[in-house]
Structure 1
Amino acid sequence: MKDVNDRSYWSAPNGAHRRVMYKGSGFSDKDIKTKFHVGIANAFMEGSPGAAHLRTITESIKQGVWEAGGMPVEFGIPCTCGNVSNGAEELKYELVGRDIVSMSIEFVANVHHFDALILVASCDNIIAGTYLAAARLDLPTLVVTGGPMMPGVYKGKKVLAPDVDVAILSGDDKDLSDMEECVCPSFGACSVMGTANTMQILGECLNLVLPGTGTIPAADLIKLRSARDAGRYIVDLINKGLTPSKLITKETLLNTIMVDMAIGGSTNAVLHILAIARDLDINITLDDFDRLSEEIKCICGVRPSGPYNVVDLHNVGGVPAVMKMIENKLHKDVPTLLGNSWNDILENTIVESSDVLRTLDNPLHKEAGLKVLKGNLAPKGAIIRPSGVYEEMKHFRGVAKVYSNDFEALEAIQSGKIVPGDVIVIRYEGCKGAPGMKEVMLSTDALVAYGLEQSVGLVTDARFSGFNYGAIVGHVCPEAYDGGPIALVEDGDMIVVDVNNGVVEIELTDEELEERHNRWVRPEPKVKKGVLAVYASTCRTADEGGAMQTW
């Protein structure tokens, strides 16, 4: 770690050209030479409610940095909204975007020799990218989240952004048009337990987001006050020399996994936790998720695991309340951003059981919010969200119908080719095959819209949105492009998924699978140039986080 009190880089005579650039940007000589330089990475983007308010939040952060005697230097980082690409081929860019965001922060932070970072983000893989950058750079770092969106009201009922996905397929244009006006009533991330809110919540467990602030709604002015607090507090982190490598231990990551299980978090969190662990050289594998899923059941009633939204969760205590409910399982002696332990914080946390958040001995679901499946169809593992699976589909056996992308599967559902008892298999959409590990949302939404979510399964080497629910198995590894067994499935094969016992299998013998593999030919890459091609050639497999980490 560099000596932040050594200002020679900025004050020595050969630093004149650096000082000139900063002075030309409005900073004074005293600022440049004597104050800590705090890079403020802002994922502002006008085209998404999850990011369109981040300028205001960033201004509050900068005020706090100035108050504490630091010098804030704002810069922009890429930001997209997954909903904009929902239903389009470009959705495959989303996971790749995580790595682009982390590399963008790495690039600017290293060139400008920042002493610390505050990273401002809300959505999906953008906020995950800020966490990955924090782990890689190991500077004193805080992440300030944009917070969840308020729920909308339509026909007297609360509605959230995912309700539009099903309405699109209903065929009622008037209903759809009216609903569009209601589902995004404020800034913030879509208020379900999708990837955005899952990662905002887990940021507190990771010691990157100040405790109690990850779920503050975007519309609540406390969000601005907490942003200013973060700006002030980053100077304390610098003086204390607290960096992610000191604050994120193996036990911290295990706590994070347990909270993800308890909240019924997005399956995408698995990829992000594994990637963060790799950058910190911490040994976390799918086996850790599998083991902890036996101990931690889903206690949170936020959609899709229940009828509530993330604002409801915030109102019953947010992340500290979740951790309080499972505190007997947590490693409470690990450090926090505040310089104390989680034991100190939870000792003073009071929460009452409700249908929004239950106790661990009275969970909302008998299973964890996430489960690892293995078997001859996924020797290295696959992921399912048990809290979103109907009871009658916890064990199902069905006839395989095989497709090479989400669009083909959607057409099959709409045309009536998919019937109860089928198992849709979507392959060549994994990290390398897509490339980019696309979210297959069209077919999963169609199953709900056509009333098939309680009678049809879906297995894929792709991933899902945190919005999705049903008997859907993703992250199948090895993926089809690597010659995994999912590449060998044929129409008419029988597939078995047993959620409770963690099994996903195809009813073929080892000899039959080997014979098919001998005949298998890897297809041509779907993309041969550009960032997707670079990603495909450098990414880890899904069971290792799927990041561009060749080390």
Structure 2
Amino acid sequence: MRLRSEEWFQGAPDNTFQHRSALRTIGHLPENYIGKPIIGIANSWSDFNNCNMPHKELVEWVKKGVIMAGGYPMEFHTITTPADLMKPSDLVYRNLMAMDVEEMVRSQPIDGLVLLAECDKTTPAQLMAAASCNIPAIQLAAGHRSSGTFRGETVTYATDLWKYLDEYKAGLLKQQEWDELEGCMSCSAGGCAVMGSASTIKCMSEMLGMMLPGTACIPAVDSRRVEAAIATGKRIVEMVQQDLRPSDLMTPSAFHNAFKLLAALGGSTNAIIHLTAIAGRRGIHLDLAQIQTLMQDIPLIVNLQPSGSFNMDAYYQAGGLPATIRQLLPLLESACLGATGETIAKIYGEETVKIPGVITSIDEPVQAAPTLVMLQGNIAPNGAIIKKSASSEQLLKHRGKAVTFHSYEDMLERIDSDELEVDETSILVMKNCGPVGEGMPEWGSIPIPRKLLKQGIKDLVRISDARMSGTSYGTVVLHIAPEAAIGGPLAIVEDGDMIELDVLQGSIQLIVEDAVILQRLQHWRRPVPRHHRGYPRLYADHVLQAPEGCDFDFLRPQSVNELPFVEPIIGRG
């Protein structure tokens, strides 16, 4: 087996002297690493990222596992994407993080890669990079945080946050109680403890064979997370020796399984963007019609917030992802490989549900199929998405007048005004928040106007070209494409226009004559770009639309045979 790192350390003498000498200065002696697989460990913790903070310690256990298996660990750091703090959108920086990881791997002597992930966009960013690099790679999650107690009940960040925020706005929660909630909602570092974006994409990673079986949903504070770190370190050395690469694991069939699992979990709508982007890096192209076909007959079989009642602790105790995959196995392409190199049929075939009611079966689901629905119509010619499992039943077929907001700032300024002409039949429409317009932040779950909250109204149909947090709920139409900022029909919706939503028919229609729509589009003028320099300018100039995963146009190969990773020329520094 020829190691990639040999080019740096056992090649031309004038080059290898410099490389070995540089490493000697920091304690890496040639006799300790030459001939061994060098394992790069991409760490993504920072003081801004509470989700990924456990990796500050877990990395040392990964290193132990690598050494135990005969490899040589080398830790390096990349940017990270703290979803709570990164504005306006961590999605913008997902692509930058993916580029960061890819370039660090490409330019350094790394034979195998361990990717330390957790927060919403760190996991897909690393998977995008792994798909492009295509050297042996595996992920380790930090785990979800501990939940708190408020008013004698368990509260879980962040689904319960949205519920209590509405109560606070409606005057049902006192300031003292609101302050108390801030201090008790999250009780450790780690990701959100619901089936939001972080938990969803970790499950997708395991389904794709990029995390060790059973490790995606271990709590951050559980000692088995340390065991997972050691096992991950051991496994990556074996993967290098076996030459098992992401291209062997992230196959078209594996992505088919991931979308089916996404539906069964009632997972985050964000995962559709991420899976599409990751598959795109492999040259695998999946459109919304194909995705809908994969998911349309898959029922919801886990009872987790925001689509259900329980949190990730209960899910893990009930058997977690392994038990879920076992229940779903008859509908999956079971010959796909997991991270152990065995088929998923062998890995998950004997798993059992330990707590009925948290995980159910395809014959007795929590909710009938479909759970996520692709929509299309004259307001969204290239598609849109709604999370049916987290929507209000009475609004799944609805017709109402549009109340439009031309930007997020416009919405914030007017949403709670007593002068806003809105009632329980209205449809809230927000424009110019898509990939080019604003970087596609999680603004799609438009707040319910305060005056309606005071009347006890908790949900309205809401429509935008933005995303929403995977922890959110409500009848929210997202990812409308083309987006308003590039002239999609959403841009010309006006106050009072009738809109009709029919989720079961997969339809979203602007009830305006075609001639009027055409006339409005002819008079539409593109908004002045917000960004004129730096990475945001690069993003706006090259980002693809939501149905294509919001990746950069210049980072996607055209086919599975056209992988973009190019090895560097090894020469003098």
77, 88, 97: which is aligned to 1:91? 88
Aligned equivalent of 2:341:
339
Q: Does 1:26 align with 2:27?
A: yes
Aligned residue for 1:202, secondary structure, equals: helix
Once the two structures are TM-superposed, the CA of residue 439 in structure 1 deviates from its matched residue by 1.1
Aligned equivalent of 1:224:
226
Aligned equivalent of 1:200:
202
Once the two structures are TM-superposed, the CA of residue 392 in structure 1 deviates from its matched residue by 0.7
Contact preservation (8 Å) 1:301, 1:308? yes
Instruction: After superposition, give the CA deviation of every residue in 1:22-78 in whole Å (9 maximum; x if it has no partner).
Output: 111211111332211111011112233312221111110011111111111111111
Aligned equivalent of 2:6:
7
Mean Cα deviation higher: 401-410 or 10-19: 401-410
Alignment of 1:476-491 (within 5 A): 476-491=480-495
Once the two structures are TM-superposed, the CA of residue 168 in structure 1 deviates from its matched residue by 4.4
Aligned equivalent of 2:82:
81
Evaluate the alpha carbon distance shift between residue 248 and residue 195 of structure 1 in structure 2; reply closer, same or farther with a 3 A threshold. same
Aligned residue for 1:237, secondary structure, equals: helix
Alignment of 1:60-459 (within 5 A): 60-85=61-86, 90-92=87-89, 94-162=90-158, 163-168=160-165, 170=168, 172-351=174-353, 354-416=356-418, 417=420, 418-434=422-438, 436-440=439-443, 443-444=446-447, 454-459=458-463
- For 1:520 and 1:388, the matched residues in 2 are separated by 34
One-letter code aligned to 2:131? A
Task: Report the count of equivalent residues.
Answer: 544
Evaluate the alpha carbon distance shift between residue 10 and residue 174 of structure 1 in structure 2; reply closer, same or farther with a 3 A threshold. same
Instruction: After superposition, give the CA deviation of every residue in 1:263-301 in whole Å (9 maximum; x if it has no partner).
Output: 111111011111111110112221122112321011211
Aligned residue for 2:84, secondary structure, equals: helix
Once the two structures are TM-superposed, the CA of residue 405 in structure 1 deviates from its matched residue by 2.3
Aligned residue for 1:319, secondary structure, equals: helix
- For 1:453 and 1:189, the matched residues in 2 are separated by 30
- For 1:183 and 1:441, the matched residues in 2 are separated by 23
Aligned equivalent of 1:504:
508
Evaluate the alpha carbon distance shift between residue 177 and residue 212 of structure 1 in structure 2; reply closer, same or farther with a 3 A threshold. same
Evaluate the alpha carbon distance shift between residue 343 and residue 168 of structure 1 in structure 2; reply closer, same or farther with a 3 A threshold. closer
Tell me, which stretches of 5 or more residues in structure 2 are unaligned? 557-573
Q: Does 1:460 align with 2:464?
A: yes
Contact preservation (8 Å) 2:376, 2:383? yes
Aligned residue for 1:4, secondary structure, equals: coil
Contact preservation (8 Å) 2:326, 2:350? no
Q: Does 1:534 align with 2:538?
A: yes
Aligned equivalent of 2:561:
none
Evaluate the alpha carbon distance shift between residue 489 and residue 275 of structure 1 in structure 2; reply closer, same or farther with a 3 A threshold. same
Once the two structures are TM-superposed, the CA of residue 446 in structure 1 deviates from its matched residue by 6.1
Aligned residue for 1:75, secondary structure, equals: strand
Once the two structures are TM-superposed, the CA of residue 455 in structure 1 deviates from its matched residue by 4.8
Aligned residue for 1:18, secondary structure, equals: helix
- For 2:460 and 2:483, the matched residues in 1 are separated by 22
Evaluate the alpha carbon distance shift between residue 6 and residue 176 of structure 1 in structure 2; reply closer, same or farther with a 3 A threshold. closer
Mean Cα deviation higher: 524-533 or 485-494: 524-533
Larger relative contact order (Cα-Cα within 8 Å, sequence gap ≥ 6): 2
One-letter code aligned to 1:463? R
Contact preservation (8 Å) 2:197, 2:271? yes
Contact preservation (8 Å) 1:453, 1:470? no
Tell me, which stretches of 5 or more residues in structure 1 are unaligned? none
Evaluate the alpha carbon distance shift between residue 318 and residue 180 of structure 1 in structure 2; reply closer, same or farther with a 3 A threshold. same
Mean Cα deviation higher: 262-271 or 437-446: 437-446
Contact preservation (8 Å) 1:22, 1:32? no
Mean Cα deviation higher: 364-373 or 252-261: 364-373
One-letter code aligned to 2:8? Y
Once the two structures are TM-superposed, the CA of residue 364 in structure 1 deviates from its matched residue by 1.3
Evaluate the alpha carbon distance shift between residue 488 and residue 527 of structure 1 in structure 2; reply closer, same or farther with a 3 A threshold. same
Contact preservation (8 Å) 1:167, 1:175? no
- For 1:184 and 1:455, the matched residues in 2 are separated by 26
- For 1:55 and 1:363, the matched residues in 2 are separated by 39
Aligned residue for 2:211, secondary structure, equals: coil
- For 2:533 and 2:103, the matched residues in 1 are separated by 22
TM-score (norm 2): 0.91
Contact preservation (8 Å) 2:444, 2:478? no
Evaluate the alpha carbon distance shift between residue 453 and residue 307 of structure 1 in structure 2; reply closer, same or farther with a 3 A threshold. farther
- For 1:283 and 1:106, the matched residues in 2 are separated by 21
Instruction: After superposition, give the CA deviation of every residue in 1:523-544 in whole Å (9 maximum; x if it has no partner).
Output: 1112222211110111111110
- For 1:159 and 1:29, the matched residues in 2 are separated by 52
Evaluate the alpha carbon distance shift between residue 187 and residue 364 of structure 1 in structure 2; reply closer, same or farther with a 3 A threshold. same
- For 2:524 and 2:374, the matched residues in 1 are separated by 27
Aligned residue for 1:22, secondary structure, equals: helix
One-letter code aligned to 1:34? G
- For 1:204 and 1:285, the matched residues in 2 are separated by 22
Contact preservation (8 Å) 1:147, 1:200? no
- For 1:350 and 1:166, the matched residues in 2 are separated by 33
One-letter code aligned to 1:420? E
Contact preservation (8 Å) 1:392, 1:454? no
- For 1:407 and 1:267, the matched residues in 2 are separated by 24
Contact preservation (8 Å) 2:317, 2:354? no
Once the two structures are TM-superposed, the CA of residue 441 in structure 1 deviates from its matched residue by 5.9
Contact preservation (8 Å) 1:453, 1:471? no
- For 1:324 and 1:517, the matched residues in 2 are separated by 50
Mean Cα deviation higher: 281-290 or 474-483: 281-290
Aligned residue for 1:326, secondary structure, equals: helix
- For 1:368 and 1:476, the matched residues in 2 are separated by 19
- For 2:38 and 2:447, the matched residues in 1 are separated by 46
One-letter code aligned to 1:7? E
Once the two structures are TM-superposed, the CA of residue 200 in structure 1 deviates from its matched residue by 1.1
- For 1:452 and 1:427, the matched residues in 2 are separated by 27
Once the two structures are TM-superposed, the CA of residue 331 in structure 1 deviates from its matched residue by 0.3
One-letter code aligned to 1:65? V
Once the two structures are TM-superposed, the CA of residue 409 in structure 1 deviates from its matched residue by 2.3
Once the two structures are TM-superposed, the CA of residue 452 in structure 1 deviates from its matched residue by 6.9
- For 2:370 and 2:75, the matched residues in 1 are separated by 40
Aligned residue for 1:443, secondary structure, equals: coil
CA RMSD of aligned residues (A): 1.9
- For 1:544 and 1:5, the matched residues in 2 are separated by 32
Evaluate the alpha carbon distance shift between residue 426 and residue 62 of structure 1 in structure 2; reply closer, same or farther with a 3 A threshold. same
Once the two structures are TM-superposed, the CA of residue 217 in structure 1 deviates from its matched residue by 0.3
Contact preservation (8 Å) 1:289, 1:371? no
Contact preservation (8 Å) 1:250, 1:284? no
Aligned residue for 1:497, secondary structure, equals: strand
One-letter code aligned to 1:54? H
Aligned residue for 2:45, secondary structure, equals: coil
